[in-house]
Amino acid sequence: MPTDNAGQEPLLTVRSLRIPLPQGGDRSHALYDLSLELERGEVLCVVGESGSGKSMLANALIRLLPETVRIEQGDIRFAGQDLLALDERGMRQLRGNRIAMVFQDPLAALNPLLNIGEQIDETLRAHGYGNASARRQRILELLDYTGLPDPQSIRHAYPFQLSGGQRQRVVIAMALALGPDLLIADEPTSALDVTTQAQILELIRRIQQDRQMAMLLITHDFGVVRTLGDRVLVLRHGQLIEQGPVQSMLDRPQNGYTRELLDAVRASPSQPRPDLDLDDAPVILRTRGLSHSYLRRQGLWKKQRVTALEDASITLKRGETLGIVGESGSGKSTLGRLLLRLLDADQGEILYQDIDLAKLNQKQLRPLRGDIQMIFQDPGASLNPRQTIGHSLMAGLLVQGSSPAEAEQRARALLEQVGLPANAFNRYPDAFSGGQRQRIGIARALAVHPRIVVADECVSALDVSVQARILTLLEDLQRRLGLSLIFITHDLRVAARLCDRVAVIQKGRIVEQGPTSEVFNNPAHPYTRALVEAIPGHQRYPST
């Protein structure tokens, strides 16, 4: 029967798929009784946070599961074929041919030792596509189709010579090589900058509509769903939470968890947080003409001076949050590190309490260290794995001259303040999740009673629902303690939610600076405009 009505049957059907995790994991199943259907030409988005099992689903479909993981029960049918009954040989013929995959990190997905042409050629050859000249013709066609400039020279380029966006275009070109019926894209844009992300999403949308190809898109970002999806399926801890058409899900999410995920994207720049009355607040920190450059070795002998930051002037008022917004490599982290003197400025001044911090040596700086603190990006790397949480929190206090008893009392109070259990004091960092570690990072920064805190991408390594909680905590602490905050981020949605004023930074230069609502609603600089428009889902926001 199934073969007779294959035309009506969905392209892909998954029935009660159950994948157990090896003993000792954080839960018993990566996926539990998951069922889904995907029609020809449809885009199904699978949304979930880390550990939801969404990547496991993709890997199960093309049978690239880790060795230790086996499918316990369930049924996967693709175009009338039972995929689980297929042998490795049959599977290999499907992979790359009728089912293609686009991975998250294009640099990891490409072989660094082969040029682009050879890599695409490999796929074509493996499936016996034409002769050499037909394949070359096809490669040029594909590169051109995915919007790469000058396909002739890109064909001979190596992955390291291309930008992140170009690499992802190459990966997409490879996936399209044999005109697949189903494209599985696992977080295809989350390793990219916002402006690049927007271009890639646009490309994927064009291709999908052009070829009427079915697509399974795996993402954590409802913004991406808004741009591309027809139907959404929300996964959490391996279980289906909710599914339905994109528009109704966005308008009327049924489940609390879905709502939480949606809220994270809703804090769009069109709705920045209400301005505080900061007009009369005194300026607490001011920089003038701050610049930093470094030498980069080029080849064996040549050295090139690279400017990371040029002529940066910012002011920070007491109690204010100043956002530093820009893409990777723009110099925003350099600015943060200069303020803390983790890097030395070539020129310019950092004025704090009428002292130029840039002129002090490390010894003179030490008594002032307590006033300016930092929250770091990577909660995995920012805590010493061999030190208990208590010791990490107390170290700064002891240096600033507290007695051990005072320091311990303060550390315990801080743990409570950031919402961690008291027994965290004697435990090591590896006992905590990413979100909890970031709370510890915040506690450590606050331990020494700072007046200014620099937060460098402090939520970008976290899942959106965790992100929201950390941001709320930060905001709450800031109000209570009267902190001034410098918030460095690439995520305009986060900046819009938290910052009173923003400075937009591009290629080491601050291109625009002003109140958040003004900058995001009426961007004066073309780059700011590009950034705002590049936010996924932006074009489909209801203009309220």
CB atoms within 10 A of CB 350: 22
> Quick check: 237 binds another protein (CB under 8 A)?
no
Sheet holding 239-245, edge to edge: 99-102, 182-186, 214-219, 43-47, 231-236, 239-245
Site for another protein in 285-324 (CB under 8 A): none
Helices within 52-211 (DSSP H only): 54-61, 88-94, 106-109, 116-126, 132-145, 151-154, 164-176, 194-211
Nearer to another protein, 413 or 524 (CB): 413
How far CA 99 is from CA of 55, 184, 359, in Å, comes to 16, 7, 60
Nearer to another protein, 71 or 398 (CB): 398
Q: Which of these ranges, 11-19, 260-268, 325-333, 428-436, lies near another protein under the rule CB under 8 A? A: 428-436
> Quick check: 380 binds another protein (CB under 8 A)?
yes
Helices within 240-388 (DSSP H only): 246-251, 256-266, 332-339, 362-365
Tell me whether strands 99-102 and 182-186 are parallel, antiparallel or unpaired: parallel
> Quick check: 344 binds another protein (CB under 8 A)?
no
Q: Which 8-state DSSP code applies to residue 342?
A: S
The radius of gyration of the chain from alpha carbons, rounded to an integer in Å, stands at 26
Shortest spacing between CB 371 and another protein, in angstroms: 10
Q: Is 85 exposed, middle or buried (0-12, 13-18, 19+ CB in 10 A)?
A: exposed
Nearer to another protein, 50 or 93 (CB): 50
List Cβ neighbours of 92 (8 Å cut-off, separation of 6 or more).
Answer: none
Nearer to another protein, 66 or 367 (CB): 367
Nearer to another protein, 179 or 329 (CB): 329
Among 123, 208, 291, 373, binds another protein (CB under 8 A): 373
Shortest spacing between CB 262 and another protein, in angstroms: 24
Amino acid symbol at 222: F
> Quick check: 156 binds another protein (CB under 8 A)?
no
Among 86, 395, 511, 530, binds another protein (CB under 8 A): 395
Among 106, 180, 272, 396, binds another protein (CB under 8 A): 396
Among 432, 487, 520, 527, binds another protein (CB under 8 A): 432
Shortest spacing between CB 483 and another protein, in angstroms: 15
Nearer to another protein, 26 or 277 (CB): 26
Q: Which of these ranges, 205-213, 284-292, 377-385, 523-531, lies near another protein under the rule CB under 8 A? A: 377-385
Q: Which of these ranges, 98-106, 144-152, 288-296, 390-398, lies near another protein under the rule CB under 8 A? A: 390-398
Helices (H) and strands (E) in the chain — how many of each? 20, 21
Nearer to another protein, 140 or 395 (CB): 395
Question: Cα 195 to chain center, whole Å?
Answer: 13
Phi, psi at 114, each rounded to 5°: -110, 145
Q: Is 225 exposed, middle or buried (0-12, 13-18, 19+ CB in 10 A)?
A: buried
> Quick check: 430 binds another protein (CB under 8 A)?
yes
> Quick check: 51 binds another protein (CB under 8 A)?
yes
In whole angstroms, give the CA distance from residue 335 to residue 320. 18
Q: Is 302 helix (H, G, I), strand (E, B) or coil?
A: strand
> Quick check: 354 binds another protein (CB under 8 A)?
no
Q: Which of these ranges, 4-12, 116-124, 349-357, 378-386, lies near another protein under the rule CB under 8 A? A: 378-386
> Quick check: 383 binds another protein (CB under 8 A)?
yes
Shortest spacing between CB 428 and another protein, in angstroms: 9
Nearest to 375 by CA among 463, 450, 480, 278: 450
Amino acid symbol at 306: V
Query: Site for another protein (CB under 8 A): how many residues?
Result: 38
Nearer to another protein, 1 or 300 (CB): 300
Among 381, 406, 423, 540, binds another protein (CB under 8 A): 381
**CA angle at residue 464 from 487 to 473, to 5 degrees?**
50
Nearest to 40 by CA among 177, 205, 181: 181
Nearest to 250 by CA among 232, 268, 228, 271: 232
Shortest spacing between CB 390 and another protein, in angstroms: 14
> Quick check: 418 binds another protein (CB under 8 A)?
no
Q: Which of these ranges, 35-43, 152-160, 274-282, 441-449, lies near another protein under the rule CB under 8 A? A: 441-449
> Quick check: 464 binds another protein (CB under 8 A)?
no
Residues in touch with another protein (CB under 8 A): 26, 50-51, 340, 342, 365-367, 369-370, 372-374, 376-378, 380-387, 392, 395-396, 399-400, 430-434, 441, 444, 447-448
